[in-house]
């Protein structure tokens, strides 16, 4: 389905309600696998966003969303770097409509993000959406890849909501720091991006 698939698993949170009968079919949603590497990746991917959220909230309380932009810019990559160093997984964030040009997804990530969008639209749920797969690399090796969706929440809208709704201060900061910004006009529940993890298999 996506790239060169050796083992493919598509998972969504089991807390999600079953889709109503009228919902268009989404890709197979299977039970969470017990592969230890998937659990390992899930733990790391799930631990970074709450830490970033805590910093964001703190900074918004202190200096408003405008003041929190700097924290996001520095803390997000710092937390990803720390998680990478601790875990042996390469950890970063990607988006189909990126703010930081470094957050560009590769072809495999693009396919998974499109799938996340379809699942979120069909199910309208905030339950975790994730994808784990062992993928062949161009040099004939294999690597483990894991992605976990980052849904847009109310709090995100101050910096990712409708362009016209952003404060003048936020608009100005974003224009200066991210002239090619595409990460606006999101609504609550839409997938803003994802944590993405990869690890070579020796």
Residues that bind ligand HEC in the complex, under the rule CB under 6 A: 53, 56, 65, 68-69, 72-73, 76-77, 93, 95, 98-100, 103, 150, 152-153, 155-156, 158-160, 183, 192-193
Q: Which is nearer to ligand HEC, 160 or 198 (CB)?
A: 160
3-state secondary structure 123-176: HCCCCCEEEEEEEECCCCCEEEEEEEEEECCHHHHHHHCCHHHCCHHHHHHHHH
Q: Which of 87, 99, 84, 111 is nearest to 1 (CA)?
A: 111
C-beta closer to ligand HEC: residue 128 or 193? 193
- CB of residue 145 to ligand HEC, shortest distance in Å: 17
Of 171, 150, 178, the C-alpha closest to 65 is 171
Pick 133 or 181: Cβ nearer ligand HEC? 181
We find the least distance from the C-beta atom of residue 100 to ligand HEC, in angstroms, to be 3
Work out how close the CB of 140 gets to ligand HEC at its nearest, in angstroms, rounded to a whole number: 31
Q: How far is the CB of 50 from ligand HEC (least distance, A)?
A: 10
| 100/197 with CB nearer ligand HEC | 100
| Cα–Cα dist 38/145, whole Å | 9
Burial class from Cβ neighbours inside 10 Å (0-12, 13-18, 19+) for residue 148 reads buried
Smaller CB separation from ligand HEC, 33 or 106: 106
Q: How far is the CB of 186 from ligand HEC (least distance, A)?
A: 8
């Amino acid at each position: 389905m996506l790239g060169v698939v050796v083992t493919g698993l598509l998972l969504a949170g089991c807390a999600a309600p079953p889709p109503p009968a009228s919902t268009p079919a989404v890709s197979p949603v299977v039970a969470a696998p017990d592969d230890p590497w998937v659990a390992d990746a899930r733990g790391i991917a799930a631990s970074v966003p709450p830490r970033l959220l805590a910093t964001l909230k703190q900074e918004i309380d202190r200096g408003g969303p405008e003041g929190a932009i700097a924290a996001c810019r520095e803390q997000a990559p710092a937390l990803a770097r720390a998680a990478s160093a601790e875990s042996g997984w390469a950890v970063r964030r990607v988006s189909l409509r990126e703010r930081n040009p470094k957050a560009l997804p590769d072809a495999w990530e693009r396919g998974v993000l499109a799938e996340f969008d379809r699942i979120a639209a069909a199910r309208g749920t905030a339950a975790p959406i994730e994808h784990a797969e062992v993928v062949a690399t161009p040099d004939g090796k294999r690597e483990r890849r894991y992605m976990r969706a980052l849904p847009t929440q109310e709090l995100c809208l101050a910096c990712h909501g409708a362009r016209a709704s952003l404060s003048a201060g936020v608009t100005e900061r974003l224009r200066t720091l991210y002239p090619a910004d595409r990460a606006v006009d999101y609504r609550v529940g839409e997938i803003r991006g994802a944590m993405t993890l990869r690890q070579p298999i020796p």
